[in-house]
Amino acid sequence: MNNSVLTQVTNFAVKSLYYEVALSPKPGLVDRFDNGAHTDMDFYTFIDSITSLAPYFYEYSRLGFEHNGDFTALFTKLRQAGSQAEKEMLLATDDINTHKGANFSFAVLLGATGFYLKNHTLPFSLQDTTAILTLVAQMTNHLIQHDFSQIAQKDELSHGEKLYIKTGSLGVRGEAAKGYPALANLLLPFLRQHSGKENTEVLLLRGLILLISQIEDSNLLHRGGMSGWEQVKQQGALIHQNNLEERSFKRTLTTFNQELIKKNLSPGGAADLLSLGIYFSFLEGII
């Protein structure tokens, strides 16, 4: 094993974030065409953010590859590096939170991938992906108890912590601690099944709509409460079930985008999960 494999894995992760922001049109989200429901960021803010995170993505995979010992200790190393990455991201974006959730997820996923690559090679199979997600669950299953039990002592709460108090939503920590079930059971089976049947952009946009129709999206809960989230979810389910041909599908997404802009709703949780799905799609050779 040499640095080239870690570089390849890192490049897949960075590229997946570029793919996600470039997908257009996306409902309520920043893309090539407009800023969705966001007034403080645009396509170029995302480019700046991703570029600032790239060196840390390599660091996450290296930390995993070189780690010996228990997974809680590895998580501590990854969280320290991730905290520094977040500072760099905020510096690059003038304090705009573009990728806080994605940075957390890629820290644990790349750490787990690096650790796994000690004894395995690319490309990955479904079984390899499942093993990575299991490692992530083992690495983070202490988080819910650890992080949320200390909320009462904190002076300043994150959006995720406020949401936990208000709705009980566990957000990205909950996803990680369960091994990202939305990836394992929903998005990745869909992408594997439909790979090669249409162009990559349409496939990934369909994957995004599938996620919107199913997952608990903390961004939607934060912006629109339970009713806002439910409305978006139902609309996503309708679009997914209609299985429109490409031109009608993209027209429908454009209309959906306008509706979400008016309501100030953005399915950012689904977008983050999509970028993770794209990462595994590169590892498995799906796209």
pLDDT of residue 90: 98
Mean pLDDT for the stretch of residues 134-162: 71
Predicted confidence (pLDDT) per residue in 89-125, tens digit: 999 999 999 999 999 999 999 999 999 999 999 999 9
Q: Where exactly are the structural domains of the chain? A: 3-284
Per-residue confidence band for 161, with pLDDT thresholds at 50, 70 and 90: low
Q: What is the DSSP string of 77-129?
A: HHHHHHHHHHHHHHHHTTS--SSHHHHHHHHHHHHHHHHHTTS--SSP-HHHH
Report which of 273, 265, 200, 274 is spatially closest to residue 233, judged by C-alpha positions. 265
The pTM of the full predicted model, rounded to 2 decimals, is 0.93
| Contact present, 110 and 103 (Cβ < 8 Å) | no
Predicted confidence (pLDDT) per residue in 211-235, tens digit: 999 999 988 988 999 999 999 999 9
Residues 6+ apart with CB under 8 A from 58: 6, 7, 10
C-alpha distances out from residue 72 to 60, 136, 175, 271, Å = 14, 10, 17, 27
Per-residue confidence band for 165, with pLDDT thresholds at 50, 70 and 90: low
Report which of 102, 115, 135, 137 is spatially closest to residue 278, judged by C-alpha positions. 102
C-alpha distances out from residue 135 to 22, 57, 131, Å = 30, 18, 6
**Degrees, nearest 5: CA angle 109-111-117:** 100
